[in-house]
Amino acid sequence: IMMKTRLKDLRISAGLTQKEVANAFGLKTVTYSRYENGVHKIPVKVILNIADFYDTSVDYILYRTDDSKPYPIN
């Protein structure tokens, strides 16, 4: 299982296109597409932003848990 699958699943569940997600992060669509397809590694800052955007945890995106609930902020 790869992170790219989780990113795509989150995006599709939210009813968004790659272009819409890329725009939300100020990225080119091709850049986001390469992240989602596993062609490029995703910078930590972008992973954090994606977790916040989808109201989930980095661990969920990275397949360290199957619980999509975000962690409480201290």
Q: How far apart are CA 73 and CA 34, in angstroms?
A: 30
For residues 5-26, b (16+ Cβ closer than 10 Å) or e, as one string? ebbeebbeeeebebeebbeeee
Decide: 68 and 60 in contact? Cβ < 8 Å.
yes
Q: Is the pLDDT of residue 61 over 70?
A: yes
pLDDT tier at 48, thresholds 50, 70, 90? very high
pTM, whole model, 2 decimals?
Answer: 0.85
Predicted pLDDT at 1: 47
Mean pLDDT of the chain: 91
Q: Is the pLDDT of residue 37 over 80?
A: yes
Tokens in use for 64?
Answer: 């360290």
Predicted pLDDT at 45: 95
**Arithmetic mean of pLDDT, 43-54:** 95
